[in-house]
Structure 1
Amino acid sequence: MHPVFFLSDFGLEDPYVGVVKAVLWEKAPGVPVLDLAHALPPQDLRRAAYALFEALPYLPEGAVVLAVVDPGVGTKRRAIAALGRRLYVGPDNGLFTLAWLLDPPIRAHEITCISPPSPKGILPLPGWAPGGYTFHGRDLFAPAAAHLALGLAAEELGPEVPAQDLIRLPLTLTPGPEGEILTFDRFGNAITTLLKAPLGSLVEVAGKRIPIRQTFGQVEAGEAVAYLGSGGLLEIALNRGNAKEALGLREGMPVVILPPPSGPPPPTDLPP
């Protein structure tokens, strides 16, 4: 039995998250289901890809990662189960791009042999047919994740798809010096594609030069600062503010690490 870690853009105002969990419980009673995130910006694949990237190092090997951010639901895009050190279930639309940098898929299968769940214990209205084509989280991905959590071999779900044919977003993580803004968190902090944050250097973005420090409190309130974020990427923030709004930042905007200015290194009040 493997735990299921569930990420989506379904939000919490509607019953979608609960319904997916109900299907998981029906198909695999007792399997632990843990939430990663559900209030992600709707249909934002870059934000969701980063959320998976940030969470992945803390998920146990063998876990089932059920991720549903699916602008193309109901179209010809594939539903997949991919196997690395963990098992990934979701749409083949680039959602797993950054996670697969840490845990590359060895093989994958298209999900074609799963019967959708049906409502239990109710009398349908005349002419009413539950289902439709827009809730693959419930109808395809949750049943597939449940079966995998119970130990079903992925090849039982459908035909093999070459791992190199799986869709990736056009994103590259790099040590620098040039990168771009990948996405934003709920605080308005800009997460970049840069893997390094050399202390004492500057970051140039949107025509502004911003110092790289260890944390927010090493600049005054309202000042911009860059630092190595919790996900291991360089981030740009405004101490006690919203960098996205205040600095006019947007996804894809170029970011460049500049050499440190001349003079003594920046002070720090953190332990070595």
Structure 2
Amino acid sequence: MAVISLLTDFGDRDAFVGIMKGVIWKIAPQVQIADLTHWIEPQNVMHGALILGQSYAYFPEGSVHVAVVDPGVGTQRKAIAARIGKFFFVAPDNGLLTLPLEQSERLGEPIHVVELNEPRFWLPEVSKSFHGRDIFAPCAAHLATGVPLDEMGSRLDSSALVRVVIPKPQPIKGGWQAQILMVDVFGNLISNLTMDDLGGQAIRSVRIAGVSIEQFTRTFGEAPPGSLISMFDSSGYLSICVVNGNAQKQLNVRIGEPLEVITG
């Protein structure tokens, strides 16, 4: 059975997500729909790209990932569909697919992209502000029923697609300069430094917002409640956390906050 995932910045107060599901099920009633998240920070394409990049590969091969964080809706930005490695994607061409593209390029996997410019796969009427309903949802449903990509639009060169620039950690004397990329629902501060960046080096301390964090742990349970710790999260990124608490509130920092990681 085909699987479609949905990632948006729509939240769940309004009917936007439910309407997209209705459009999909009218075309592909047997498809399974997974809500990846609808709480991407509004209009924050990088946030959407990061969450999609962390998540897409956990789905069955051939799944269709629909990503709609679309501040350029109704403008000249392209609507695209792609087969990237083992998965399909439907999204605006604004950088949301940056990480799947980079991953497949590193692995030498095939990438096949089209512009969604065949109106017969859209809804009959297309608004200027809700392409999630009018273009992306119906096109995803058609893909899930087996419509070939090349029937849905003109071929595009993947190297010409928009990419977001995701900041990379930089080596400094005695460690690394990194920054906070995301804050999760628990208030954990997720940086752009990974275990691979360290190359086996041990973390001695982390300095952020004028605070030096000396406790590096493997799990939350290794430190008492209320402790400020650093640890690698389930996706392999160094995170700043408060055990049973909220690191963002305690440190009063935002996305983009710099941190120094002292190693050795």
TM-score range, shorter chain: 0.7 to 0.9
Indicate conservation of the 8 Å contact 2:49/2:98, yes or no.
yes
Deviation per CA, 1:61-98, whole angstroms, max 9, x where unpaired?
A: 21110111111111111111121120110111111223
1:144 counterpart = 2:147: no
* 1:185 matched residue in structure 2: 184
Q: Which runs of 4+ in 1 moved over 6 A?
A: none
> What are the ranges of 5 or more consecutive residues in structure 2 without an aligned counterpart?
none
* 1:264 matched residue in structure 2: none
The aligned amino acid for 1:157 is M
Distance 1:167 1:63 in 2: 22
- Higher strand proportion (structure 1 or 2): 2
The structure having more radius of gyration, on CA atoms, is 1
Q: CA RMSD in A?
A: 2.1
Per the normalisation by structure 1, the TM-score is 0.84
Distance 1:202 1:178 in 2: 12
> Aligned ranges for residues 79-158 of structure 1 at < 5 Å?
79-84=79-84, 85-104=86-105, 106-115=111-120, 116-117=122-123, 131-158=126-153
Query: How many residues of Structure 1 are paired with residues of Structure 2 in the alignment?
Result: 249
Deviation per CA, 1:117-149, whole angstroms, max 9, x where unpaired?
A: 25xxxxxxxxxxx75210000001011101111
- Higher helix proportion (structure 1 or 2): 2
The CA deviation at 1:42 is 1.7
The CA deviation at 1:114 is 3.0
Deviation per CA, 1:176-200, whole angstroms, max 9, x where unpaired?
A: 6332211111111111111127655
Select between 248-257 and 19-28 the one with higher mean Cα deviation: 248-257
The percentage of counterpart residues that share the same residue type is 39
* 1:164 matched residue in structure 2: 159
**Helix, strand or coil: the match of 1:187?**
coil
> What are the ranges of 5 or more consecutive residues in structure 1 without an aligned counterpart?
119-129, 261-272
The aligned amino acid for 2:258 is P
Select between 151-160 and 141-150 the one with higher mean Cα deviation: 151-160
Indicate conservation of the 8 Å contact 2:8/2:38, yes or no.
yes
Per the normalisation by structure 2, the TM-score is 0.86
* 2:260 matched residue in structure 1: 256
Indicate conservation of the 8 Å contact 2:202/2:263, yes or no.
no
The CA deviation at 1:175 is 8.9
